[in-house]
Amino acid sequence: MACARRWSRRCTPEDDRLAETILRFFRDRGLGHKVGARLKQRGEQEYAVERMCRSTVEHLAALWDRNSRPVRS
């Protein structure tokens, strides 16, 4: 347990997996750079201004449609 050796609080298996993954990227700089580049590209695509604006407009339009329907009694 990598986590338990460093801190006194009780660690979960998820904590240990995260710690091991971080250490793996630290030890293998090439892998860290490769994964980092992929994540950067994914972030730039998913959070591009145009995409975020389109998504916001779609959500607002759906809310508008839902709230502007006549109420049936």
Tell me, yes or no, whether 2 lies in a domain: no
Tell me, yes or no, whether 6 lies in a domain: no
User: 1: helix, coil or strand?
Assistant: coil
Tell me, yes or no, whether 3 lies in a domain: no
Q: Does the reported pTM lie above 0.75?
A: no
Cβ-based neighbours of 31, under 8 Å, separated by 6 or more: 24, 25
Domain interval for residue 50: 11-67
Number of separate domains in the chain = 1
- What digits encode the pLDDT tens for the residues 2-21? 555 555 567 788 889 999 99
Tell me, yes or no, whether 37 lies in a domain: yes
pLDDT given at position 73? 61
Tell me, yes or no, whether 36 lies in a domain: yes
- What digits encode the pLDDT tens for the residues 19-54? 999 999 999 999 999 999 999 999 999 889 999 999
Tell me, yes or no, whether 50 lies in a domain: yes
